[in-house]
Amino acid sequence: MESHRVIVCRCEEVSLADLIETASSYSCTARELKLRTRAGMGCCGGRTCRNMLDQVIEAVTGQKPDHAVSLGYQPPVRPMSFQLLGGRK
């Protein structure tokens, strides 16, 4: 199926096929799917793919996502300037 080649998590390069296969094989919760595939664990913290993770879990396992244990969005610890990262002064 063509849609399975769609990349859902761009940060970790996780495809829709990867998510469906993992959710089917392990009957995952949303949290387990995230931990098994690394979807949502990239630099954006799941801001772009979390809704799709929830939809995959619901479609494959029939479970409504339970956010009792949050997947959590994690911003950087503190902002850093480009100068600190080696930019010119």
Spans of all domains in the chain: 1-89
Return the pLDDT at 14: 95
Which CATH fold would you assign to the domain 1-89?
A: Arc Repressor Mutant, subunit A (1.10.10)
Answer for the pair 9, 42: CB distance below 8 angstroms, yes or no: yes
Q: What's the chain's average pLDDT?
A: 81
Helix axis angle, 16-26 to 30-37, nearest 10°? 120
First vs last C-alpha separation in the chain = 52
What is the pLDDT at residue 75? 59
Cβ(3)–Cβ(17) below 8 Å = no
Nearest to 56, CA basis, from 26, 83, 82: 26
- 58-69 mean pLDDT: 78
Task: Say whether pLDDT at 64 is over 70.
Answer: yes
Angle between helices 16-26 and 50-61 (to 10 degrees): 40
pLDDT given at position 23? 93
Tell me which of 81 and 40 has the higher pLDDT: 40
pLDDT at 17 over 80: yes
